[in-house]
A and B are shown apart, each in its own frame.
Chain A
Amino acid sequence: MLTVTDVAKRYGDVQALDGFSLTALPGEIVGLVGHNGAGKTTFVDIVSGLIRQDSGTVLVDGQPPSKARGRIGVSPQQIGLYPPLVIREHLRLFGGLAGLRRTALKAAMDEVIQALRLTEFLDRPTGYLSGGQQRRAQAAIALIHRPALLILDEPTAGADPETRQALLDVVKQRAGEGAAVVYTTHYLNELAELGATIAVARRGKVIARGSSAELLDGLPGEVRVQFVDHEEHATTTDPTATLLRLLDGATAPVKSVELRNPDLDDLYRSLAATDVN
């Protein structure tokens, strides 16, 4: 569905993308993570057809993004809504621009309204909506024409738990129906919940890709043992052996034991440390 090969993009002195490659297959959710400035939004802008790459190829269903617009649904990082218009009017506008008419438009609107729980504030100008409600409206626009490729750029940034859950549910549903999804985020637990393939971007290229298990392999977890009179804590790649060592040398009764396996936050921190070094 989406094939991005060796893409480069420069803004003046800043090399935003430098050999960026990524694929997303139908039904696959690719979670794109990376620090601010890693090139995620530039990548999204290129795939959305908003800007052109300096070199490399971007193909959506075998075509450049400018020729595949009807098959792409984009939810940009920053809110882009008309404050004087209500959500219903936004959905009619963007659904209509995608070619939906009458009953098909109504059916598509009903579906996204329900999926993203928009009914309550459907006829309220978007300028009066909360940040979370605006996020949901923004996502509804991206989803209304059932795109084969969904690009969601930090869709839950600053969103409340209800918004977050509604968005995650609908993303899983659309992927289950065969859409390819690229989902950029800093909330790494969301990717675990989505069961996403994770791609890690750094300095304009994807430096690692795989399942969370593959990427977390070799990263240290945490062992915390609470004794009645003190606490011991260790970061380790072998939690079991470390726990046994701590218990073996114990001089006081154990109150509690906590084992934490490495998660995506650890991956993120390890990349941050690499970046600093």
Chain B
Amino acid sequence: MSTETLSTDTKSHANPRSGSLARTGLLIRYNVLLRLRDPGQMISYLVLPMVIMVVFKPLYVKAFDGGTLHAVIGPLVMFSMFALGIVGNSILVEREWRTWDRLRTTKAGRGELLFGKLVPPFAILIVQQTILLTFGTLVVGMPVPPSLPLLAIAVAVWGLTLLAIGAALATVARSRGDLNMVSDLGAMVISSLGGALVPVTLMPGWVAAIAPFSPGYWAMDLMRAAVDDDFAGMVRPALVCLTIAVVAGVFAGYRLARGWGRSHLI
């Protein structure tokens, strides 16, 4: 290094000890800040399912056994799928605002950038489900789940699945309009098909036959088993959800690395 360069570096304010953890923490903080500056979707996807839970509970209770549980789990699964839009948007705006390339020119590595980007939406998904389950128990009258750890596992697995699907969607959407259309339509169709609105057992035969192709079907199974403290019953839907998460995550990773415009994301 030349003398001139040294003189520049000598004046630098940079602290060489600052590390990966500090950068990742900073990225998480700023991504949380970005979410908080645009809270509309989050509020909407919290309040709407609460309203639906309260309004639809009497209908479900009269229509079939376990109606109260369905009145909570159904809207939870449906509106957690709507939250795919939040996950996707948080990634897509980085391309729209041309800020991702800015971040890539900093000292932050690929893992730090992705971790910092994905932790806040994952936290939103977890918080959303936790608040809705709490509301369902305290206000709607869902039985108190005997095992909170099992419920936490179910929430985490479903949250991870949604995170991966949302990231994958963000890498194929060309605009926020595209993303919102796909996530809204997809959430409605997939969750309805999975039995979030009407239990699969009450659906026409052909719909019931294709219901297992919907991630919502497995999410409903997973949540129901977790609330019932049925660990054995959780294993299969959890594995299916995790498989979907891995497939979507690998696809998202490939698209982010290979196919996102002139410069790659990571």
Chain A residues with CB under 8 Å of chain B are 1, 11, 25-27, 45, 48-51, 61-62, 69-72, 74, 76, 78-85, 89, 93-94, 96-101, 104-105, 107-108, 141, 145-146, 148, 177-180
Contact = CB atoms under 8 A, between A and B. Distances in A.
B106 interface: yes
A80 B103 CA distance: 10
Contact of A70 (B4, B5, B14, B30): B14
B104 A49 contact: yes
Given A82-B34, A84-B38, A89-B30, A100 B13 contact: yes
Contacts of A81: 97, 99
A96 B263 contact: no
B108 A97 contact: yes
Contact of B7 (A45, A78, A82, A177): A177
A80 B98 contact: yes
Interface stretch (B15-23, B48-56, B166-174, B249-257): B15-23
Contact of B263 (A51, A99, A105, A145): A51
A97 B109 CA distance: 10
Contacts, number: 122
Given A25-B4, A45-B262, A82-B34, 4 more contacts: A26-B8, A85-B33, A96-B23, A178-B8
Contacts of A70: 14, 106-107
B11 interface: yes
B201 interface: no
A271 to B, nearest CB: 25
9 contacts: A1-B2, A11-B262, A25-B4, A26-B5, A49-B104, A89-B33, A97-B26, A98-B106, A146-B11
B97 A93 contact: no
* SS class, residues of chain A in contact with chain B: loop
B1 interface: yes
A82 B97 contact: yes
Contact of B15 (A83, A100, A180): A100
Nearest to A49: B105
Nearest to A144: B13
A179 B5 CA distance: 7
B62 interface: no
Interface residues of B, number: 39
A148 B104 CA distance: 18
A69 B109 CA distance: 10
Interface in B132-160: none
Given A51-B263, A96-B23, A80 B99 contact: yes
Contacts of B13: 100, 104-105, 107-108, 145-146
A96 B22 contact: yes
B101 interface: yes
B30 A177 contact: no
Query: Quick one: which of B17, B33, B104, B106 has the most chain A CB within 10 A?
Result: B106
Contacts of B108: 97
B5 A148 contact: yes
Contacts of A89: 30, 33
Contacts of A99: 14-18, 22, 107
A1 B7 CA distance: 13
Task: Pick from A71, A81, A177 the residue with the most CB of B within 10 Å.
Answer: A71
B1 A62 contact: yes
Interface string B67-80: 00000000000000
B65 interface: no
Nearest to B30: A93
A79 B98 contact: yes
Contacts of B97: 80-83
Nearest to A105: B13
Contact of A26 (B2, B37, B262): B2
A61 B4 CA distance: 12
A269 B1 CA distance: 39
A74 B107 contact: no
A143 to B, nearest CB: 12
Nearest to B4: A26
Given A104-B15, A178-B4, A178-B8, A94 B99 contact: no
B34 A1 contact: no
Nearest to A51: B263
A45 B1 CA distance: 24
Contacts of B12: 145-146
Contact of B107 (A84, A98, A141, A180): A98
A178 B7 contact: yes
Contacts of B101: 48, 50, 76, 80
